[in-house]
A and B are shown apart, each in its own frame.
Chain A
Amino acid sequence: MSNTQWPLWEVFTQKKFGNPFEHAGSVHAPDKEMALQNARDVYSRRNEATCIWVVPSELIVSSSPEDVSSFFDPMNDKIYRNPNFFKTTGASFE
């Protein structure tokens, strides 16, 4: 008797057309078709999604929280990337 729980897939759902995809959770499934079907049954029983992505969990690459300061550090001294850095002497940019 099989007792394995199959590979783990991360599920991303798009709530409305045009919206970005958001992580919803995970499911176990033996292949990609079943991963999609399981994801629909678990994360969209009430039309919560217009589209679903499933990705094998082991393929996801993440930055690590311990390195948060050094990893994002290169952006810290580049405040000129923000529009508020510039003096616009009272002109309207609305």
Chain B
Amino acid sequence: MIDEELEKKFLDRIDRGEVIEPKDWMPERYRKQLIRMMSQHAHSEIVGMLPEGNWITRAPSLKRKTVLLAKVQDEAGHGLYIYSGTETLNVTREEIVGEFLNGKAKYSSIFNYPTLSWADMGAIGWLVDGAAIVNQTALAKCSYGPYARAMVRICKEENFHHKQGYEILATLMKGTKEQREMAQDSVNRFWWPSLMMFGPHDKDSPHSGDLLRWKVKLYSNDTLRQRFIDRTIPQAENIGLTIPDPKLKWNEQAKHYEHGDIDWEEFYNVINGRGICNKERMRVRKKAHEDGSWVRDAAEAYAKKHSSKTVEA
């Protein structure tokens, strides 16, 4: 069968809402775009451990420390679910991780912002993971089976991340004046970068067309961003936090919040390597890989020794 016919059949399957599995025929562009999107997503989970890992030794109580440890471990798990899914597209783990370590692959710009106070652990859980849930709940119904299944798993765990973050901020908002200011300052810094997590406006989004056609994306960037804003504002009001957007207002007719302009220059600066922590994140990620090499060597040596014994026996 020629590629055009195969592609038509493929698109018919997409239109019928069928799920595409690794061994099914798929257009090369579909495969490539999925590898790009999924590996970026996986790298983001892995880098996501760094801003929070910073606070494990400085958590204010044993309870918060154990929770934060579990959350950071989840992020590693999420990275691994998605790497595992990406590998079904005929690309090896070495290739995917290699592109990340050599700086070619991108990851979510949100992780290039610093975590300056304990309240940032709250804002990250509530806003950053809150935005991630909106994105990932949509992706859990995407057309590629291994990606969709990884998202179902991740969404269940993100709900814990989301609520523990909110609880951190809620607790601070019941505290002293300084604690309330610390919570508000953190929200002031993380609100706009969280909105940027959904990507450029629909009219400026280069990959959206194909991804929507293939039902990898089911909703546009702006639709998901709006969904996040609408569900988050009442949560902020509930604990007395102010959203740092003077233009924010409820539109009774549309039943949506209207928001002010997003600073896209900042977004592109961070994406293109000029964020506050880009260099630091890559440095730490590479160091972790290098520092772990003796563990990989030891495990491999052990496996070798063990298997040669079995053969002798």
- The chain A residues found within 8 Å of chain B, CB to CB, are 1-6, 8, 25-28, 30-31, 34, 41-42, 45-46, 62, 64-66
Contacts and interface: CB of A to CB of B under 8 A. Distances in A.
A65 B23 contact: yes
A66 B293 CA distance: 42
B84 A27 contact: yes
A64 B25 CA distance: 10
B117 interface: no
A27 B80 contact: yes
Interface string B83-106: 011010000111001000000000
A51 to B, nearest CB: 18
Nearest to A44: B77
Nearest to B77: A42
Contact of A2 (B70, B93, B297): B297
8 residue pairs, one from A and one from B, having the closest CB atoms: A30-B303, A31-B303, A5-B93, A1-B293, A25-B84, A26-B84, A2-B296, A65-B24
A27 B84 CA distance: 7
A8 B87 CA distance: 10
B116 interface: no
Interface string B8-42: 00000000000001011100000000000000000
B238 interface: no
A34 to B, nearest CB: 6
Chain B binding site: helix, strand, loop or mixed by DSSP?
helix
Interface residues of B, number: 31
Contact of A31 (B21, B157, B307): B307
Nearest to A8: B87
Contacts of A46: 157
Chain A binding site: helix, strand, loop or mixed by DSSP?
loop
B150 interface: yes
Contacts of B23: 62, 64-65
B18 to A, nearest CB: 11
Nearest to B304: A30
Given A45-B73, A64-B23, A31 B302 contact: yes
Contacts of B302: 30-31
Nearest to B156: A46
A61 to B, nearest CB: 12
A30 B307 CA distance: 10
Contacts of A25: 80-81, 84-85, 146, 149-150
Contact of A41 (B77, B85, B157, B293): B77
B306 A42 contact: no
B94 A3 contact: yes
B7 interface: no
A46 B158 CA distance: 13
